[in-house]
């Protein structure tokens, strides 16, 4: 692909609670001129539905995410343009009127559960990393996050996990692990994994390859 100075896009994929956000932050510490983006910001606005109808939506299905907008943003960032990233309210399942302006950087670190479920997104990723993590640990982390940060009850989180999160994980997340350049098993600390990814990116700087 292009010169060593072009934008590199690193995709971190894995089930809910697998450690994507922690790894993204650690990788951002290593990579100069980097920006973290979350696929979660691109959930579709459900303001046209009633609250009861929104609660019935399967948020772990690829259709719940605005992949088209994310693709447009990744292409724009790679071209050196700024983008307006949506601000999503997980309590109401709607997009805020606010946006976050993100400028083009040399390294874009993109994390999301369903990144590899979209061939068009996979083709834009220079490095694809899949985080493999035990189910029990992922659920514990999901409960802690959703109760503390998203105003959920533990019972509702567990019910959603059993109804949609884990079934969709088996259907759309796990099968796409074979698209990864790097698969991390639970165990190595985020710093060690981040260094591994950093070495891969440095290799790409000197030996660029086509993505797909």
Structure token pair of residue 188:
């190595």
What is the average pLDDT score of the chain? 90
pLDDT tens-digit map of 78-121: 999 999 999 999 889 999 999 999 999 999 999 999 999 999 99
Q: Domains, the chain, ranges and CATH?
A: 8-205 (3.40.50.300)
pLDDT of 203 above 50: yes
Check if the beta carbon of residue 9 is closer than 8 Å to that of residue 76: no
In the DSSP assignment, the letter for residue 161 is: I
According to the model, what pLDDT value does residue 173 have? 96
Average pLDDT over residues 2-23: 84
In the DSSP assignment, the letter for residue 61 is: S
The pTM score is 0.87
pLDDT tens-digit map of 138-167: 999 999 999 998 888 999 999 999 999 999
Structure token pair of residue 26:
């650690």
What secondary structure does DSSP assign to 193-205, as a single string?
HHHHHHHHHHHHH
Q: Which residue has the higher pLDDT, 211 or 25?
A: 25
């Amino acid at each position: 692909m292009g010169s060593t100075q072009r934008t590199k896009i690193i995709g971190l994929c894995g089930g809910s609670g697998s450690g994507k956000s922690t790894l993204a932050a650690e990788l951002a510490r290593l990579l100069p001129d980097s920006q973290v983006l979350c696929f979660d910001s691109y959930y579709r606005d459900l303001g046209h539905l009633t609250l009861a109808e929104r609660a019935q939506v399967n948020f772990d299905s690829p259709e719940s995410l605005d992949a088209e907008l994310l693709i447009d943003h990744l292409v724009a960032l790679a071209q050196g343009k700024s983008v307006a990233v949506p601000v999503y309210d997980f309590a109401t399942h709607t997009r805020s009127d606010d946006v976050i302006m993100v400028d083009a950087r040399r390294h874009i670190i993109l994390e999301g559960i369903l990144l590899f479920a979209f061939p068009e997104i996979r083709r834009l990723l220079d490095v694809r990393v899949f985080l493999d993590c035990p189910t029990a640990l992922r659920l514990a982390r999901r409960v802690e996050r959703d109760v503390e940060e998203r105003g959920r009850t533990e019972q509702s989180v567990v019910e959603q996990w059993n109804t949609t999160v884990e079934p969709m994980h088996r259907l759309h997340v796990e099968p796409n692990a074979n698209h990864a350049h790097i698969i991390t098993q639970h165990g190595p600390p985020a710093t060690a994994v981040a260094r591994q990814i950093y070495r891969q990116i440095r290799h790409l700087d000197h030996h660029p390859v086509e993505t797909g």
